[in-house]
A = this chain, B = another copy of it.
Amino acid sequence: MKIKEQLSKRSKKEIKQAGSKIKARIVALITDFGTKDHYVGTMKAVMLSINPEIRFVDITHEIFPQNIKQAGYLLWATYKYFRAGTVFVCIVDPGVGSERRMLGVRTKDYIFLAPDNGLLNFVFATDNVLEEIELDENKFRACLPKQISYTFHGRDIFAPVAAYITKGMAISRFGKIVVPRKIKENLFVDSASSSTQACILHIDTFGNIVTNIQPSATEMLERIESVLIGDKLISSKIRYYYEAPDDVPCMLIGSSGLLEVAVKNDNAARILNVTIDSHVEVYWK
């Protein structure tokens, strides 16, 4: 009853409209499966067997091993650019086969499927989650293969669920409706944050270091004095990579609105000897 009450607070029309948008049949994938295995191809095979009209977009399959935060960031940095109706299948799942839960989440425009391990925290923290489901295999046993493996739920559970959703099935069909969670943790650091502590969310192909420091859209880098990254203090500011002086690590606002540290025509992470777990502090003016 409690859940029902809460649900009734939301516009049922809004929910229905969102559901009716699921027509683009785009499935976007983000996993740590790599590209040298058959895992991703097999998931696509399963989905195409159920719905041959699905269009796949690979966000990436090279999430650092078990790096749930990095996966969450990359998902957050890209998902808003997708067509309404896109279904996101997000698998970084060291707990596969154990009792860990699997989630289905619906926002106004999108549906997300992921293990319940924090991967969707950026979505919960920044978007309006209309519906949250704990997947329950017993509710859709007929949609699944006879034998479900212990180690590849991407193929045996997530892929069929995603494919049936692209055919118009509501996510509530696949599990227990729960009250959408609120994430209280501050995933981003801004000038209003009381602490100087920040962190690295991602190191990109070019070696650019993406932090969780989120300058405001109006002040940009103005209020930032300097950033300590590893044991190096960065205070030079640029707008784009090419603007940097040679060999000087600089901060800039990257394409997803977060503070990045870069070295022009070079690999900042290597030069600063930084990994995704390195320490970051930000000093505001």
Contacts and interface: CB of A to CB of B under 8 A. Distances in A.
Interface in A34-91: 34-42, 44-46, 48-49, 52, 55, 57-63, 65-66, 74-75, 77-78, 81-83, 86
Contacts of A252: 150-151
Contacts of A82: 45, 48-49
Nearest to A100: B242
Main secondary structure of the interface of A (DSSP, over half): loop
Contacts of A149: 254-255
A205 interface: yes
Contact of A37 (B60, B240, B242): B60
A95 interface: yes
Contacts of A42: 59, 77-78, 81
Contacts of A189: none
Interface residues of A, number: 65
A165 interface: no
A230 interface: no
Interface string A92-130: 001111101000000000000000000000000000000
Nearest to A154: B255
Query: Which of A38, A65, A86, A152 neighbours the largest number of chain B CB atoms within 10 Å of its CB?
Result: A38
Contacts of A95: 242
A240 B96 contact: yes
Contacts of A52: 24, 26, 55, 83
A158 interface: no
8 contacts: A35-B35, A37-B60, A38-B75, A41-B58, A42-B78, A96-B240, A150-B240, A151-B252
